[in-house]
Amino acid sequence: MTAFDLTPPSDVQRRDLTAGLSRDERRVLLEHGTEAAFCGVFLDNKKHGVYTCRFCGLPLFRSSAKFDSGTGWPSFFQPYHDAHIRLIRDTSHGMLRTEEVCARCGSHLGHVFQDGPRPTGDRHCLNSVSLGFTEQGHALPDLLGRGAPEGQPDTGD
Ligand SMILES: [Zn+2]
């Protein structure tokens, strides 16, 4: 069980959050676009902390699960919590892939492939614009006004 409230944002919250996005963020998060390789701001981020959903603030990945995949997109071998991402079969562009979206708000995050490193063998290939970042020791974003989850919010890795 995750300590986070996974109730989707209300229509009003969704409208307000959408208004705060840049054109590129909207294109990726809401229209399933992909950013150009090697351009994302988080590709070379080596800081310790937690990567969150750019749209709703839900923690998605820990820096300790980040690895250099050589693909040009930030890559992780394991999510913050399995319940925080939702996998969707994606047959667009003539390929069979697994898309991943935020389990709370449904925003497009990237794709997951089965050629990642141990221990999971998964490679979560993310768009930087789909992510926010909270450095270790700082408070997680609370974009939906849900308050801190029960217990200490865990931004460590
Ligand atoms: Zn989200």
Cα 127 to averaged position of ligand 1 atoms, centre (Å): 13
Q: Hey, what are 156's tokens?
A: 């460590």
What's the confidence (pLDDT) of residue 153?
56
A 10 A CB-CB count for 94 gives 5
Task: Clarify whether 125 is annotated catalytic.
Answer: yes
Domains and CATH numbers, the chain: 23-135 (2.170.150.20)
Distances in whole angstroms, Cα of residue 76 to Cα of each of 32, 70, 127:
19, 12, 11
Q: How many CA atoms lie within 13 A of 155 on its CB side?
A: 19
pLDDT tens for 44-62 read: 999 999 999 999 999 999 9
What's the confidence (pLDDT) of residue 149?
80
What's the confidence (pLDDT) of residue 148?
80
Cα 139 to averaged position of ligand 1 atoms, centre (Å): 17
Residue 155 pLDDT greater than 80, yes or no? no
Cα 107 to averaged position of ligand 1 atoms, centre (Å): 6
Residue 118 pLDDT greater than 60, yes or no? yes
Backbone phi, then psi, for 76, in 5-degree steps?
-135, 150
Write out the residues surrounding ion ligand 1, Cβ under 5 A: 53, 55-56, 58, 102, 104-105, 107
Mean pLDDT of 84-103: 95
38 torsion bin: left (phi>0), alpha (psi -120 to 50), beta (else):
left
